[in-house]
Structure 1
Amino acid sequence: MPFSLSHPARHELVIKKSRFIACVESVTGREEALARVAQLKAVHPDAAHVCWALLASGQSAAHDDGEPGGTAGRPMLEVLRHQALEGVMASVVRYFGGVKLGAGGLVRAYTDAVAQALLTAEKIPLIQQAQLACSVPYALEGLVRRELELAHAQLLDVAHGSVVTLRFALPATQAAAFTARLSENGRGQLVWLDGDTCAG
């Protein structure tokens, strides 16, 4: 089962006078990760490197930001994969201390910084969500809303036209029983529209 993080977690290592400031946090995708990297570079203008790795929306990315190829981003990405994380980025800000660590030393430093940050992180399971949509006459909108509330479903969108169209999400494991109950209560006036399934 994939996991995300409830809130960002940080850890700092000092190795031969170099500071490695690691952060692991949840992100929606590459765009948010790049914005976060830009923010880190603005906050740490004197840092030698801001390396990062990302696992989100079925995509992965690893960036060494000037460190020797494969010594920073990829090892950080492997830590995220090993922990079965999704929708998470790891970043490490490095302040160079004047002593070169060598390729092996860099891999260990970046791996350890991220692994230590993850030790303090609270992981939350990603539950597969089913997104459903139905249309009903206006007279049944209240009934559908009550059923959604009882099922703790998340109402995503409501459109009022000749009928009321509601889009919502709930755990995929509850979808079949919920649709059966709602269809029965809808007395043949409820129409199901195409939906899809996603992690959330």
Structure 2
Amino acid sequence: MTSDADQPHIIPGGDGYGEHQDRGSRFLAWVFHAPDEATFLLRLAEVKAEHAKARHWCSAWNINGAYRFDDDGEPGGTAGRPMLQVIEGSGMQEIAAICVRYFGGVKLGTGGLVRAYSGATSAALDATPRHQVVLRFSYSLELPFNLLGLRTELEALCPSISFDGEYTDRGWVGKISIDEPERVTFENLLDEKSAGSAAWQLVS
């Protein structure tokens, strides 16, 4: 049985950028891949350096089930949380957003701020490419001579499989690697055809 963490998932495949303008204020947003908090903090520092004259640098991230958001001086709940809701709605993991505001001289009110920060983040999200992460697993495997035909069957039924090993006096001995969606097919075929005579074990 595999856990949710072992399932294929979607992450940002690159950066997305979006803008929103309202009564003179400009909101510039970026959505990007953040596999850890250190990556996010480095990106935030870069944005602050590049946009040092902005009034606010608000942010949100969702990384491996943990999340944070920061209103950075805007009224509570008007910036970071709406941004977080936008990126969480994408279904992507390891995702972060930063939105800077250049103040235009007119206060927008709480509703206006929520629309601005969520709007800019949504625009950035729409421009963000998606990448599906398919986990790959390795097994040790020993196929006795009478089961060498299984290799051909495995290659036909599991296109992602790769073999790394050698022939010995016992048969074929080595390691295979395979994508997550094909693991069940691999294990079931070995159980069904070898009746326990093929030795295999999950390595990583």
Counterpart of 1:55? 62
**2:178 paired with 1:175:** no
Which of 29, 36, 50 lines up with 1:29 in the alignment? 36
- Alignment length (residue pairs): 181
**2:124 paired with 1:117:** yes
Counterpart of 1:192? 201
Normalised to the residue count of structure 1, the TM-score between the two structures is: 0.71
User: How far 1:92 sits from its partner (Å)?
Assistant: 0.6
**2:97 paired with 1:83:** no
User: How far 1:190 sits from its partner (Å)?
Assistant: 4.5
Q: What's the CA shift string for 1:156-178, capped at 9, x where partnerless?
A: xxxxxxxx985855123x01223
Query: SS at the partner of 1:41?
Result: helix
Counterpart of 1:131? 137
| Runs of 4+ off more than 6 Å | 182-185
**2:15 paired with 1:8:** yes
User: How far 1:11 sits from its partner (Å)?
Assistant: 1.1
Gaps of 5+ in 1: 138-142, 156-163, 196-200
Distance 2:131 2:176 in 1: 25
Q: 1:110 to 1:178 in 2, by over 3 A?
A: same
Q: 1:50 to 1:168 in 2, by over 3 A?
A: farther
Normalised to the residue count of structure 2, the TM-score between the two structures is: 0.70
User: How far 1:98 sits from its partner (Å)?
Assistant: 2.0
Q: 1:49 to 1:165 in 2, by over 3 A?
A: farther
How many percent identity over aligned positions?
33
Which has more radius of gyration?
A: 2
Distance 1:81 1:126 in 2: 17
Q: 1:180 to 1:27 in 2, by over 3 A?
A: same
Counterpart of 1:65? 72
Give the partner amino acid of 1:152: S
Distance 2:162 2:51 in 1: 39
Q: What's the CA shift string for 1:64-95, capped at 9, x where partnerless?
A: 12222211111011111222221211111111
Distance 1:113 1:179 in 2: 47
Distance 1:76 1:82 in 2: 10
Query: SS at the partner of 1:54?
Result: strand
User: How far 1:192 sits from its partner (Å)?
Assistant: 0.9
